[in-house]
Structure 1
Amino acid sequence: MATIELLHIAGCPNSELTLVRLQRAVDNAMPSNTLITSTVVDSAETAAQVPFAGSPTILVDGVDLFPTDGRTTDLACRIYHTPNGPAGSPTQQQIEAALAAHG
């Protein structure tokens, strides 16, 4: 069973939408007992200890589901490239495809 974690900063305007999309994608693509945890990254020190690439970051078994060129310790928002242009959250379909590829 995969371990899925959503890393986000407090007050992130995109974390709730990402969590909803992630839960739907997991429901469609993963075993029913897959657990999603949500972790607030509250300091640069915390961000340095995890593979954080901005808020929100989705980890599957400790690996960024949408790998980028680098990690950050900045408590900042993340931009995803979606079919509709840049956005603060990947689409549910992008999450499902990434989960399937990770599989």
Structure 2
Amino acid sequence: MKVELLHIVDCPNTAIAEANARAALDALGLGAVPVELVTIRTEAEAASTQFGGSPTILLDDVDLFPTAPVRSLACRVYATESGYAGAPTQEQIEAAMRGASR
């Protein structure tokens, strides 16, 4: 299992997305799985990856929250129970990981 967090430089939501992904993996009994941070620095890199905006969480190269690919260095917004946020919640990540493993 490979978990990557794609983000742009100085994204204010990278740390919370990483913490939520880490907590989700731990809650699912996958504490040994690392969360690899991948910095997207150019529009060419954005266009050549599964980048859906910063931050994007990939599980085995598939976006856990599918959206149209972004071809620019842009932020991403997630709908949560509390309204829009810059990162998905731990619970959303857990649910997406459970769904992806089916």
Q: TM-score range by the shorter chain?
A: over 0.9
Number of the residue aligned with 2:90: 92
Which residue of structure 1 lines up, in the alignment, with residue 28 of structure 2? Answer: 29
CA contact (8 A) 2:47 2:72 kept: no
When normalised by structure 2's length, the TM-score is 0.95
**How much has 1:30 moved relative to structure 2?**
4.3
Gap regions ≥5 residues in structure 1: none
Look up the match of 2:63. Answer: 64
- C-alpha distance in structure 1 between counterparts of 2:29 and 2:41, whole Å: 29
Structure 2, unaligned runs of 5 or more: none
**Percent identity of equivalent pairs:** 43
CA distance, structure 2, for counterparts of residue 40 and residue 19 of structure 1: 13
- 2:16 is matched with 17
Q: What CA distance in whole angstroms lies between the structure 2 residues aligned with 1:3 and 1:30?
A: 15
1:65 deviates by: 0.4
Structure 1 ranges of 4+ moved more than 4 A: none
Deviations, residues 64-84 of structure 1 (Å, cap 9, x unaligned): 00011x101110110001111
